[in-house]
Amino acid sequence: MSGFRSFMLGLFVLGALPAVAMAAPENAKRNFRLYCMGCHQADGSGSPANGIPAMRDEVGHFLRLPEGRAYLSQVPGTLNTPLNDAETAELLNWLLVNLGRSSTPPDFQRYTAEDVKAYRASVPEDIPGLRVRLLEKLAQP
């Protein structure tokens, strides 16, 4: 009987693995709705007239610069959520694929919890100024 229970438990665990693997994108989507959508809109279009940048087909451009990659973990909206480093990494990866779309390089390095932790440990004092400098660099040929 003990062997049978172990076998059944193993089948149960194996059956649950795809659900666990699928949880990250669903969690990220939920976290986007909770912490980002209020300002950046459901489609990522933002409200540029009100100082809320668009992410849709734009956010992936920041990955072209090492400091741009860090910046996405350091913006106040990202920093001020209650999300831990792993949840933030999931959210950033989801944003880059689902909202960054054509702006996100096809071979982009996915964020990890370790990346987010390191970037959060070195937040620049002038985030708005950093954004301006990054956009200027990105506009250069």
Token pair for 131: 């954004």
Q: Is residue 10 in a domain?
A: no
Domain total for the chain?
1
Q: What CATH number is given to the structural domain containing 54?
A: 1.10.760.10
CA distance 51 to 56: 15
CA distance 85 to 65: 21
Q: Is residue 76 in a domain?
A: yes
CA distance 30 to 133: 31
pLDDT in tens, 87-114: 999 999 999 999 999 999 999 999 999 9
pLDDT in tens, 66-82: 999 999 999 988 888 99
Alpha helices, H only, 36-84: 37-40, 66-74, 76-79
| Domain enclosing residue 131, as ranges | 24-139
Q: Is residue 6 in a domain?
A: no
Question: Residue 141 — very low, low, confident or very high, per pLDDT cuts 50/70/90?
Answer: confident
Token pair for 71: 């910046």
Q: Is residue 3 in a domain?
A: no
Q: Is residue 123 in a domain?
A: yes
Query: How far, rounded to the nearest angstrom, does the alpha carbon of residue 21 sit from its chain's CA centroid?
Result: 17
Q: Is residue 100 in a domain?
A: yes
Q: Is residue 13 in a domain?
A: no
Contacts with 97 (C-beta within 8 Å, 6 or more apart), sequence order: 104
pTM for the predicted model, two decimal places: 0.80
pLDDT in tens, 21-66: 335 789 999 999 999 998 899 999 999 998 889 999 999 999 999 9
CB 69 within 8 A of CB 92: no
Q: What pLDDT was estimated at residue 3?
A: 52
How crowded is residue 53: how many other Cβ atoms within 10 Å of its Cβ?
A: 16
Phi, psi of 77 (to 5 degrees): -60, -35
